[in-house]
């Protein structure tokens, strides 16, 4: 899947034409397109999806100044003098997409590097994928496990192009849990003594004191939320899906420590037992949850828990090779339909996330899962989950929100100007998001234009 290429020359000035095509290679998108401080950009003649209402509105124009949306005005209102006007050609103007379950450092890491990758390997592949993610229309990602603080910082500074990142740092896993990537020969007593970190993805901690310490380390690094592995997972071959991971006390230790810093814990959990224990311990969000039953769903509703479901659907093939992983994947895929029905029936707020790991082809087609969301929601309702609703989920970071100066995922005055102009056909068929080179006409993040094919 080629990455959109765009030379710096083409990005000079407003409304510069973008050039599509090219081959996979190192960054060619300008990391920080020019921002003309004080100049107003006007986006007009669009069908507006604002991230909150599922009706598209016409006859409006959006004024952007610096990093923010200044106003949404009727088309008749005259723009300020010297404004840069962009004609959206009756296509859909919408907030940038948000992925609430991503692993920025290794979503697109080639699987053969999984064991050998050092932090710089991860950073280089991660940076390349961040640029590609922005060109896929994702302007914000919640990283639920990887050492992405340096990557986030480089993006925020404009050193490389990419989405905003809400980092969790390393996910906490108990010994033998979902973050357990050690080979049998590496387990103490069966070979060498072991590092406590697996692939810069998870960190092992057993016991409430150790959990508190590991949470504090992630917060020290700048985590906006904490991720805890509370039950079995798919890519870790040796922990059964039904295994309960972490005692209530251990999860509560993470929750209390995160709360002391004004933020929350989200848990990896598939089974009802794991979900219920986590809620009793005070977590605010459940990742996955495909094996949930009615009681677990009721408990989520009663406690106002967010449900970050990944629309895993049968794809015919998988990148997994270990039969233990494949068996676990199959039972989770089977549960996805039930999960969405339970979420709808009990009125549980749902997040959209993709969760690619060591899967360059999958990550390059990140919106495959956005399209899959169309099995349970109308296209625009699915887009609302991937914008305004996901932003509300990310706002749980409260005092640790790395982007506190404006709203995300919505088009309204004061929100960050993270915007897309998308072919109107995508409002009927989410599959169109799988061809971002042609479907995405304009990509703006932080008021800066990273792609503009509208004037071409
Ligand atoms: Zn994950």
Contacts 24+ apart (CB under 8 A), 320-327: 320/234, 320/235, 322/237, 324/237, 324/238, 325/234, 325/235, 325/237
Q: How far is the CA of 3 from the centre of ligand 1 (A)?
A: 24
Q: What's the 171 CA to ligand 1 centre distance in angstroms? A: 9
Chain Cα centroid distance, residue 366: 10
Distance CA 314, CA 334 (A): 8
Cα 356 to ligand 1 centroid, rounded to whole Å: 7
Which pLDDT tens digit goes with each residue over 41-55? 999 999 999 999 999
Spacing, Cα 235 to ligand 1 middle (Å): 9
Ligand 1 centroid, distance to 143 Cα (angstroms): 9
Angle between helix 272-280 and 248-260 (nearest 10): 50
Cα 34 to ligand 1 centre (Å) = 35
Expressed in angstroms and rounded, the spacing between residue 223 Cα and the centre of ligand 1 is 16
The order of strands in the sheet holding 164-167 is 97-102, 138-143, 164-167
CA of 145 to the centre of ligand 1 (A): 7
Return the percentage of the chain with pLDDT > 70, whole number: 89
Average pLDDT over residues 313-319: 72
Which residues pair with residue 448 across a beta bridge? 445
Q: Write the CB contacts of 242 (distance below 8 Å, at least 6 apart in sequence).
A: 231, 232, 271, 273
Confidence of residue 7 (pLDDT cuts 50, 70, 90): very low
* Mean pLDDT along residues 359-388: 96
Q: Distance, CA 39 to ligand 1 centroid (Å)?
A: 40
Q: What is the pLDDT of residues 182-224, one digit of tens each?
A: 777 666 666 555 555 556 889 999 999 999 999 999 999 999 9
User: Would you place residue 309 in the very low, low, confident or very high pLDDT band (cuts 50, 70, 90)?
Assistant: very high
| pTM of structure | 0.91
State the distance from the centre of ligand 1 to the C-alpha of 329, rounded, in angstroms.
13
| Residue 403 CA to ligand 1 centre (angstroms) | 23
Q: How far is the CA of 103 from the centre of ligand 1 (A)?
A: 7
What domains lie within the chain, and their CATH numbers?
A: 8-96+407-452 (2.30.40.10), 97-400 (3.20.20.140)
What is the CA(234)–ligand 1 centre distance, in A?
Answer: 10
Centre of ligand 1 to C-alpha 101, Å, is 6
- Cα-to-centroid distance, 422 and ligand 1 (Å): 28
**What does the chain come to in residues?**
456
Average pLDDT along the chain: 90
């Amino acid at each position: 899947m080629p990455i959109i290429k765009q030379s710096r020359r083409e990005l000079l000035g407003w409304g510069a034409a973008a050039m599509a095509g090219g081959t996979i290679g190192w960054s060619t998108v300008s990391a920080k397109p020019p921002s003309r401080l004080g100049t107003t950009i006007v986006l007009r003649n669009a069908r507006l999806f604002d991230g909150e209402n599922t009706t598209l509105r016409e006859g409006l124009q959006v004024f952007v100044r610096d990093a923010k949306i200044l106003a949404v005005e009727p088309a008749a209102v005259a723009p300020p003098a010297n404004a840069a006007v962009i004609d959206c050609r009756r296509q859909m103007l919408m907030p940038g997409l948000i992925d609430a379950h991503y692993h920025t450092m290794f979503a697109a890491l080639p699987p053969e590097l999984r064991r050998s990758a050092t932090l710089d390997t991860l950073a280089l592949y991660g940076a390349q994928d961040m640029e590609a993610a922005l060109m896929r229309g994702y302007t914000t990602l919640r990283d639920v496990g990887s050492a992405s603080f340096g990557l986030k910082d480089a993006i925020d500074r404009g050193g490389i192009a990419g989405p905003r990142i809400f980092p969790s740092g390393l996910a906490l896993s108990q010994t033998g849990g979902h973050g357990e990537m050690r080979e049998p020969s590496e387990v103490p007593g069966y070979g060498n003594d072991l590092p406590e970190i697996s692939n810069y993805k998870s960190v092992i901690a057993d016991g409430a004191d150790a959990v508190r310490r590991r949470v504090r380390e992630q917060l020290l690094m700048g985590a906006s939320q904490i991720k805890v592995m509370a039950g079995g997972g798919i890519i870790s071959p040796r922990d059964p899906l039904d295994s309960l991971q972490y005692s209530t006390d251990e999860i509560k230790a993470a929750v209390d420590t995160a709360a002391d810093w004004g933020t929350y814990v989200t848990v990896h959990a598939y089974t009802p037992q794991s979900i219920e224990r986590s809620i009793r311990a005070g977590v605010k969000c459940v990742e996955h949850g495909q094996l949930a039953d009615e009681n677990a769903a009721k408990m989520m509703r009663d406690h106002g828990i967010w449900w970050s479901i990944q629309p895993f659907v049968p794809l015919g093939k998988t990148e997994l090779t270990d039969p233990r992983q494949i068996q676990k994947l199959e039972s989770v895929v089977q549960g996805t339909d039930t999960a969405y029905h339970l979420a709808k029936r009990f009125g549980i707020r749902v997040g959209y996330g993709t969760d690619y790991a060591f899967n360059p082809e999958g990550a390059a087609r990140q919106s495959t899962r956005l399209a899959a969301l169309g099995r349970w929601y109308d296209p625009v309702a699915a887009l609302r989950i991937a914008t305004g609703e996901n932003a509300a989920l990310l706002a749980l970071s409260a005092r640790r929100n790395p982007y506190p100066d404006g709203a995300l995922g919505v088009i309204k005055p004061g929100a960050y100007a993270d915007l897309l102009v998308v072919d109107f056909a995508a409002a009927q068929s989410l599959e169109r998001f799988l061809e971002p080179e042609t479907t995405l006409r304009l990509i703006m993040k932080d008021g800066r234009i990273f792609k503009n094919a509208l004037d071409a």
